[in-house]
Chain A
Amino acid sequence: MTTSYPGRAQRKQMPSLSASPRARRAAAKRRFEMLLRMLGAVTVLMIVLLPLFWMLASSFKPNIELFQRPPSIFTANPTFEHYVELWEFTSFPRYFLNTFLVAGISCLAGVIISLITVYAITRFEFIAARVFAFGVLIIYMLPPILLALPFFRIWYNLNMLNSLWALGITYLTITLPFSLWILRPYIEAIPQALEEAAMIDGCTRFQAFRKVIVPQAWPGIVASFVFTFVVVWNELLYSLVLISDEAKRTVSLGIASLILETSVYSWGLVNAAGVLATVPVLFLFAFAARQMVSGLGAGAVKG
């Protein structure tokens, strides 16, 4: 039973692995499946991207080509005239500003209020918490068309129709529930011990919230801001109902008006406005993606 052992661990050479026919067949199958999946993805992308592409291409076409049959895909004479016209001869710059303000304020307020609310719900047990969370969900499920008329009455009575503040506050009914539901799992996942550690390290509860909870929930905060921003950015119904003053329009209302209020459709303008309205959203998504993939949060506590 005496075998000889090495004095220290020695690594042997690993024998070279030659692929068996079975392994090769499996690999071929995997490649085929990959191909199918790629095909599926490309199809979906085409369906999704085609309108966007069409809008982009059309926004650079001179007017004649816009109405040409059959339509051309790419124009031979690209032009910026629609963008120039949009910028110089319409109120769109103003609409963009309006929308940024309204969306920015209602989303920021939505995120901040829901952050604090979720924190309270998850950290301090009180009976209202569940009821509250459930109520928010119910409100979120009510279709905006149901709320549009009551809101109209409310702002009318307050003499605040045509107010961007009123519009922003109305949008809170969209942004708040949305943020609440995105943020809740993020905050719940943060171990209480982290805050306690921070409080022992010298933080007040508020400092612990700011220095520990907020960074931990950051991906959720960014996600809820971005998603609500996009929803509000695209929102048409409330602005249609609450805003009639031309100078207070939002971008979506502006685009709709371009179509609704002119007898000759200025497709060039509509397309250019559409492209410009898409750009901030794209930037926001790019920003969000970078903020969110950083994968913070792992390793807070073991296990």
Chain B
Amino acid sequence: MASIGIREVWKAYSTEPVVFGIDFDIPDGAFVVLVGPSGCGKSTLLRMIAGLEDISAGEILIGDKVVNDVPPKDRDIAMVFQNYALYPHLTVKENMAFSLRLRKERREAVDEQVNRAADILGLTNLLDRYPRALSGGQRQRVAMGRAIVRDASVFLFDEPLSNLDAKLRVQMRTELKALHQRLKTTTVYVTHDQIEAMTMADIIVVMQEGVIMQLGTPLELYDHPANRFVAGFIGSPSMNFFEGNISQGLFTTGDGRQLALPETAAGYSDTPVTYGIRPEHLSVSKDGIAGKVLVIEPTGSETQILAEIDGQQVLAVVRERHDLQPGDDICFTPDASQAHLFDRENGERI
């Protein structure tokens, strides 16, 4: 096990930078998720940690050692790739034993470790199969098996679940998390799916265009997004935003609607801001912001109400059941203490 240090790391392809001086530390044993939209440089950063890409500037440390010039095989890491990268000419067992054989470990020791990993992952019956004869979920498990037999000090995952169907994805998410709790190996996990990030991470690193937008625990990010990007990215269904101004202690939209402000807004006046409110912090009321119901989506435990307000779609999630039809008039009241305000110029939280 080892901590990871990422010190002012840059990556440029030819002269085009794609990772812009990223800097953070991963404590020993933590499960860190790098999340962000596709193309934001998550994989590039992960591959630099793995040693598969050169580091253009900065330093990466594993344990206390700078690994910039250490080849992947000597970094004591294990990695699971998005499309698994199983060796097609080897059986499941040989795939998992590959790294141990390379280290010339005794045959019994190899067998023992492979069997233990197979047992943890439920692969015992599949050991003699070739990857082509496995389902997507089974291949995924073999890829994980290949990583865990090694007792590596760091696990790296690059979107390992994105090729699975929805149900399996949820199941594997839980298994991965359980596996981490059992092995306590420092893990860096890349995904573009914020639900995976929220459910699995100890620490989430939200990236956009090669820059860290926020780093924190899942609930910190959810409750106190540092900027408009994180506010919109984290949380599903995502936050509603209204554009407007702070004036006379109230938030006023372009259409002249007025909303109560959270306490953080004290001291601001005549400032252009974005007002963000999560769907669960809107409630259906007699008066408030009025609009028309577009779609009602009951999920059983709660109901999602999509309404149109001043030409803008607004989503509310309510637990109580209302007798509403598309086209009905509806009024929402936001819980002002839960509202988030962002500077309209630079997107920063106020």
Q: Which residues of A contact B150 (CB under 8 A)?
A: 201
Q: Which residues of B contact A300 (CB under 8 A)?
A: 85-88, 131
Of B81, B88, B133, the contact of A196 (CB 8 Å cutoff): B81
Of B75, B98, B133, B163, the contact of A302 (CB 8 Å cutoff): B163
The complex places the Cα of A191 from the Cα of B131 at a distance, in Å, of 15
Query: Distance in Å from the Cβ of B134 to the closest Cβ of chain A?
Result: 7
B332 interface residue, CB < 8 Å from A? Answer: no
**Contact, CB under 8 Å: B72 / A216:** no
Closest chain A residue to B133, Cβ basis: A299
A64 interface residue, CB < 8 Å from B? Answer: no
Q: Which residues of A contact B87 (CB under 8 A)?
A: 194, 197-198, 212, 215, 300
Known contacts: A196-B81, A198-B87. The answer to whether A302 contacts B71 by CB under 8 A is: no
Closest chain B residue to A215, Cβ basis: B89
The complex places the Cα of A196 from the Cα of B79 at a distance, in Å, of 9
**Contact, CB under 8 Å: A199 / B71:** yes
Closest chain B residue to A207, Cβ basis: B102
Chain A CB within 10 A, most for which of B51, B98, B130, B163: B98
The complex places the Cα of A207 from the Cα of B86 at a distance, in Å, of 16
Q: Which residues of B contact A194 (CB under 8 A)?
A: 85, 87
The complex places the Cα of A194 from the Cα of B143 at a distance, in Å, of 12
The complex places the Cα of A200 from the Cα of B71 at a distance, in Å, of 9
A94-142 residues with Cβ-Cβ distance < 8 A to B are: none
A47 interface residue, CB < 8 Å from B? Answer: no
Number of interface residues of A (CB under 8 A): 26
Known contacts: A196-B52, A197-B79, A298-B132. The answer to whether A202 contacts B99 by CB under 8 A is: yes
Q: Inter-chain contact count A-B, CB under 8 Å?
A: 89
**Contact, CB under 8 Å: A204 / B71:** yes
Known contacts: A193-B83, A193-B85. The answer to whether A199 contacts B72 by CB under 8 A is: yes
Q: Which residues of A contact B134 (CB under 8 A)?
A: 299
B144 interface residue, CB < 8 Å from A? Answer: no
Q: Which residues of B contact A297 (CB under 8 A)?
A: 88-89
The complex places the Cα of A191 from the Cα of B86 at a distance, in Å, of 10
Number of interface residues of B (CB under 8 A): 33
Closest chain B residue to A199, Cβ basis: B72
**Contact, CB under 8 Å: A204 / B81:** no
Q: Which residues of A contact B71 (CB under 8 A)?
A: 199, 204
Q: Which residues of B contact A299 (CB under 8 A)?
A: 86, 88, 130-134, 139
Q: Which residues of B contact A303 (CB under 8 A)?
A: 83, 163
**Contact, CB under 8 Å: B89 / A200:** no
Query: Distance in Å from the Cβ of B193 to the closest Cβ of chain A?
Result: 17
A230 interface residue, CB < 8 Å from B? Answer: no
**Contact, CB under 8 Å: B88 / A204:** no
- Main secondary structure, interface of B, reads loop
Q: Which residues of A contact B133 (CB under 8 A)?
A: 299
Query: Distance in Å from the Cβ of A209 to the closest Cβ of chain B?
Result: 13
The complex places the Cα of A203 from the Cα of B98 at a distance, in Å, of 10
**Contact, CB under 8 Å: B52 / A191:** no
B73 interface residue, CB < 8 Å from A? Answer: yes
**Contact, CB under 8 Å: A202 / B102:** yes
Q: Which residues of A contact B50 (CB under 8 A)?
A: 196, 200
B89-110 residues with Cβ-Cβ distance < 8 A to A are: 89, 98-99, 102-103
The complex places the Cα of A216 from the Cα of B102 at a distance, in Å, of 18
Q: Mark A179-202, 1 if CB is under 8 A from B, else 0.
A: 000000000000101101111111
The complex places the Cα of A289 from the Cα of B221 at a distance, in Å, of 60
**Contact, CB under 8 Å: B89 / A302:** no
A296 interface residue, CB < 8 Å from B? Answer: yes
Query: Distance in Å from the Cβ of B14 to the closest Cβ of chain A?
Result: 11
B77 interface residue, CB < 8 Å from A? Answer: yes
The complex places the Cα of A211 from the Cα of B71 at a distance, in Å, of 18
Query: Distance in Å from the Cβ of A115 to the closest Cβ of chain B?
Result: 16
Query: Distance in Å from the Cβ of B140 to the closest Cβ of chain A?
Result: 9
Known contacts: A207-B102, A299-B132. The answer to whether A200 contacts B79 by CB under 8 A is: yes
B208-267 residues with Cβ-Cβ distance < 8 A to A are: none
B136 interface residue, CB < 8 Å from A? Answer: yes
The complex places the Cα of A301 from the Cα of B136 at a distance, in Å, of 10
Q: Mark A206-242, 1 if CB is under 8 A from B, else 0.
A: 0100011001101000000000000000000000000
Known contacts: A299-B133, A303-B163. The answer to whether A216 contacts B89 by CB under 8 A is: yes
Q: Which residues of A contact B99 (CB under 8 A)?
A: 201-202
Query: Distance in Å from the Cβ of B129 to the closest Cβ of chain A?
Result: 10
**Contact, CB under 8 Å: B131 / A200:** no
**Contact, CB under 8 Å: B102 / A201:** yes
B203 interface residue, CB < 8 Å from A? Answer: no
B31-84 residues with Cβ-Cβ distance < 8 A to A are: 50-52, 71-73, 75, 77-79, 81-84
The complex places the Cα of A119 from the Cα of B170 at a distance, in Å, of 39
Closest chain B residue to A193, Cβ basis: B85
The complex places the Cα of A191 from the Cα of B84 at a distance, in Å, of 11
B11 interface residue, CB < 8 Å from A? Answer: no
Q: Which residues of A contact B77 (CB under 8 A)?
A: 200
Instruction: Name 10 extra pairs, CB < 8 A, besides A196-B79, A201-B99, A299-B131.
Output: A197-B81, A200-B50, A204-B71, A207-B102, A215-B89, A296-B88, A297-B88, A298-B88, A301-B81, A301-B83
B residues contacting A by CB (< 8 A) are: 50-52, 71-73, 75, 77-79, 81-89, 98-99, 102-103, 130-134, 136, 139, 146, 150, 163
| 5 nearest A-B residue pairs (beta carbon) | A299-B132, A301-B83, A201-B99, A193-B85, A298-B132
